[in-house]
């Protein structure tokens, strides 16, 4: 009997009979909570909690609220991490777009001195790599190139720098050719000849030097708005394409596979991120198996996880620290070999020193203080995670089949369908974005940053709300609060937060006693929003609306149900479940 089995039996022996509960008991307890929140009625069966609490992903995969052993019936629990110990902390540097190479070099040296263990360098034909990497010990710090417009030029420049310094590149260095990713991002025109020329030339250079040469950057799909399964399927498609080209150029499948590193996005949906990384390893192992790689040939999938760019918000950017912390945790738990935490101020442009320091310290906190890396596969064996891993692996494999049959040109329209559904959920605020669609700070002053061509090319999830905030409404809404503060504060807070999410400020009436008192505080704003309790609406809401119209209000909104004022008509309403984006757009039109 193993030590783990002995420990397991000891823990079970410590459990008392009252500590054992059935699924029906959990259903009853969960149902009681849902009835209190009116998400279930007294007539609904307790078993309805599974439907009410199961979350459906953008791929149509149901994420169960409670993991149970039966979820793993006929399920393969593979895809476990191969990493042992701490992950490689990889900093991102933008040396493209005319960036000052001296500034990039300063950032690189500060990051390395602060505990970063590798550098991911975005470059182009104008980048002075010699200056950018001045003083960097290339035999100790792996460099991952990302030069989509000039991959051969950047690779040869790095080799020249190493040769001039009389050092060998660190074996985890990656020359970073990824023609499919560059094409998907629109950096270069797609073409079979370019794919072959760049890929083969850089890969053979890498093979000669004993370093990595190819990156399958699945974040190219993620940054366009893809779902997890689409990102996974694209990565398999790109990886297979590269294997085909390289084997046709004379490499064996094993030699080609050992040159490739995969890059995935890590989001603040931690379980989905953990499952995606585990599913990716499982699916890639299956690809290599089908390609004839011998079972005794060790070719694990190398994974580089990057905190998602689209999930970051330009407004209230400090909330991004929370998002990236959760994402980095998920990446580490999911078994990523390297993790890049993007600075919280990335959506604003080129990050500055404070943002870079916080980014690298997030990994240090997780590794050195929280000891997240001490366990090889913390999520392994968790019924819900194992099931989600299996579901994602199958969904990603199906997406691979569509890419193989329909081609890459049909991929974009499928991504657009996912984007439309995500946008719908964001507009309804069922997929809230803290600091943007929820709890916005309308009076904030954003830190100024220089433009960054990398972050500018990303489709952020909250872009529609950011567009409203970029051009704030020139007039304010009169928040017509009915009654004392205790009676109107709930709806007044809801309405003011909703309006702020659209760049609309409010003038609050404050405590009021009747319609005449409320009208006396009105200052001629074209739009008014009534906010009060149901009792206040019933008692004098209609009179308040009428008094405000007579005082000059042209557009009357009620916070709550439109029928709350009886027969008195209102022009619009706002409540939970409203299409916030459509409501805010209509309101801004009336203010204009």
Cβ atoms 126, 152 nearer than 8 A: no
| % residues pLDDT > 70 (the chain) | 97
pLDDT for 537 equals: 94
pLDDT for the residue 7: 52
Any residues with CB less than 8 A from the CB of 450 and at least 6 apart, and which?
Answer: 349, 350
The span from the CA of 208 to the CA of 198, in Å, is: 16
Q: What is the mean pLDDT of residues 245-272?
A: 97
Residue 472: the pLDDT is: 94
User: Is residue 194 within 8 Å of 239, Cβ to Cβ?
Assistant: no
Residue 324 has pLDDT above 70, yes or no: yes
In this predicted structure, the answer to whether residue 100 has a pLDDT above a threshold of 90 is yes
- What pLDDT shows up at residue 457? 81
Average pLDDT over residues 425-451: 94
Please give the average per-residue pLDDT across 241-251, as a whole number: 96
pLDDT of 427 reads 96
Query: In this structure, are residues 559 and 574 in contact, taking their beta carbons and an 8 Å threshold?
Result: yes
Check pLDDT > 60 for residue 309.
Answer: yes
Give the pLDDT confidence score for residue 455 in this predicted structure.
Answer: 81
Residues in Cβ contact with 359 at an 8 Å cutoff, skipping those fewer than 6 apart: 91, 324, 341, 342, 343, 344, 351
The two structure tokens encoding residue 46: 């307790």
- CA–chain centroid gap for 526, Å, is 39
Taking residues 427-452, report their average pLDDT. 94
Instruction: Label the pairing between strands 62-63 and 55-56.
Output: antiparallel
The full DSSP string for 423-453 is HHHHHHTSS--BTTTBS--TT--PPP----H
| pLDDT for the residue numbered 554 | 93
pLDDT at 8 over 60: no
Any idea which of 230-244, 287-301, 517-531 has the lowest mean pLDDT?
287-301
**pLDDT tens-digit readout, 503-541:** 999 999 999 999 999 999 999 999 999 999 999 999 999
pLDDT at 565: 85
Q: Would you say residue 73 has pLDDT above 90?
A: no
DSSP string, 96-134: -TT--HHHHHHHHHHHHHTT--EEEEE--TT--HHHHTT
So what's the pLDDT on residue 322? Answer: 97
566 pLDDT above the threshold of 70: yes
Nearest to 267 by CA among 255, 257, 275: 275
Report the pLDDT value the prediction gives residue 391, as an integer from 0 to 100.
96
Percent of all residues in the chain with a pLDDT value above 90, rounded to a whole number: 84
CB 236 within 8 A of CB 257: no
Mean pLDDT of the chain: 93
pLDDT band at residue 9, thresholds of 50, 70 and 90?
low
Phi then psi dihedrals of residue 216, to 5 deg: -100, 100
Does the pLDDT value for residue 77 go beyond 80? Answer: no
For residue 463, give the 3-state DSSP assignment: helix
Q: Which is higher by pLDDT, 456 or 181?
A: 181
Give the burial class of 330: count Cβ atoms within 10 A of its Cβ; 0-12 exposed, 13-18 middle, 19 or more buried: buried
Q: What is the mean pLDDT of residues 312-322?
A: 97
Has residue 384 got a pLDDT over 60?
A: yes
Strand partners, 508: 479
Domains and CATH numbers, the chain: 29-58 (no CATH), 88-403 (3.20.20.240), 471-591 (3.40.50.280)
- What pLDDT is stored for residue 562 in this prediction? 86
d(CA 389, CA 376): 17
The lowest-confidence range among 87-101, 207-221, 564-578 is: 564-578
Q: Read off the pTM.
A: 0.93
Write out 221-275 in H/E/C secondary structure.
HHCCCCCHHHHHHHHHHHHHHHHHHHHHCCCCHHHHHCCEEEEEEECCCHHHHHH
Asked if residue 89 lies in contact with residue 117, where contact means CB atoms within 8 angstroms, the answer is yes
């Amino acid at each position: 009997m193993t030590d783990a089995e002995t420990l397991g039996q000891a823990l079970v022996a410590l459990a008392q009979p009252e500590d054992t509960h059935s699924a029906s008991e959990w259903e009853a307890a969960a149902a009681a909570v849902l009835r209190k929140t009116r998400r279930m009625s007294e007539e609904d069966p307790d078993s309805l909690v599974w439907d009410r609490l199961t979350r459906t992903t953008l791929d149509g995969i149901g994420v169960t609220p409670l993991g149970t052993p039966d979820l793993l019936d006929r399920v393969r629990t593979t895809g476990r991490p191969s990493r042992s110990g701490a992950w490689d902390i990889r900093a991102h540097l933008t040396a493209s777009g005319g960036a000052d190479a001296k500034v990039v070099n300063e950032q690189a040296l500060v990051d390395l001195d602060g505990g970063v263990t590798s550098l991911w360098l975005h470059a182009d034909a104008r980048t002075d790599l010699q200056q950018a990497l001045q003083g960097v010990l290339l035999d100790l710090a792996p460099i991952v190139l990302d030069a989509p417009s000039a991959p051969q030029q950047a690779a040869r420049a790095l080799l020249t720098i190493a040769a001039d310094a009389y050092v060998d590149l660190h074996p985890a260095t990656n020359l970073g050719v990824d023609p499919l990713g560059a094409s998907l991002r629109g950096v270069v025109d797609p073409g079979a000849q370019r794919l072959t020329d760049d890929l083969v030339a850089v890969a053979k250079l890498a093979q000669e030097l004993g370093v990595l040469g190819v990156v399958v950057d699945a974040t190219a799909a993620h940054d366009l708005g893809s779902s997890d399964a689409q990102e996974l399927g694209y990565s398999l498609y790109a990886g297979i394409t590269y294997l085909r080209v390289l084997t046709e150029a004379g490499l064996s499948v094993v030699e080609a596979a050992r040159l490739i590193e995969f890059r995935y996005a890590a989001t603040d949906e931690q379980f989905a991120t953990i499952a995606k990384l585990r599913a990716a390893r499982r699916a890639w192992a299956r690809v290599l198996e089908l390609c004839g790689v011998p079972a005794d040939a060790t070719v694990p999938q190398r994974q580089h996880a990057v905190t998602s760019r689209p999930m970051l918000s330009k407004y209230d950017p400090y909330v991004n620290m929370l998002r990236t912390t959760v994402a980095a945790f998920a990446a580490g738990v999911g078994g990523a070999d390297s993790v890049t935490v993007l600075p919280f101020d990335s959506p604003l442009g080129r990050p500055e020193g404070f943002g870079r320091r916080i980014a690298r310290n997030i990994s240090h906190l997780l590794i050195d203080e929280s000891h997240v890396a001490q366990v090889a596969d913390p999520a392994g064996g968790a019924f819900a995670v194992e099931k989600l891993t299996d579901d994602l692996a199958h969904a990603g494999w199906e997406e691979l089949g569509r890419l193989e049959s329909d081609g890459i040109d049909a991929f974009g329209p499928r991504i657009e369908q996912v984007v439309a559904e995500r946008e719908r959920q964001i507009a309804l605020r069922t997929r809230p974005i803290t600091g943007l669609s929820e709890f916005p700070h309308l009076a904030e002053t954003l830190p100024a940053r220089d433009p960054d061509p990398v972050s500018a090319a990303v489709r952020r999830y909250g872009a529609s709300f950011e567009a409203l905030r970029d051009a704030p409404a020139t007039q304010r809404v009169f928040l017509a609060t009915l009654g004392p503060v205790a009676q109107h504060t709930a709806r007044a807070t809801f309405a003011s937060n909703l309006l702020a999410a659209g760049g609309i400020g409010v003038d609050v009436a404050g405590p009021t006693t009747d319609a005449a008192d409320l009208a006396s505080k009105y200052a001629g704003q074209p739009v008014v929003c009534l906010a009060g309790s149901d009792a206040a609406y019933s008692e004098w809401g209609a009179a308040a609306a009428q008094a405000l119209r007579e005082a000059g209000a042209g557009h009357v909104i009620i916070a709550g149900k439109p029928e709350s004022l009886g027969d008195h008509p209102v022009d619009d309403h706002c409540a939970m479940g409203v299409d916030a984006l459509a409501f805010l757009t209509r309101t801004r039109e009336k203010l204009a």
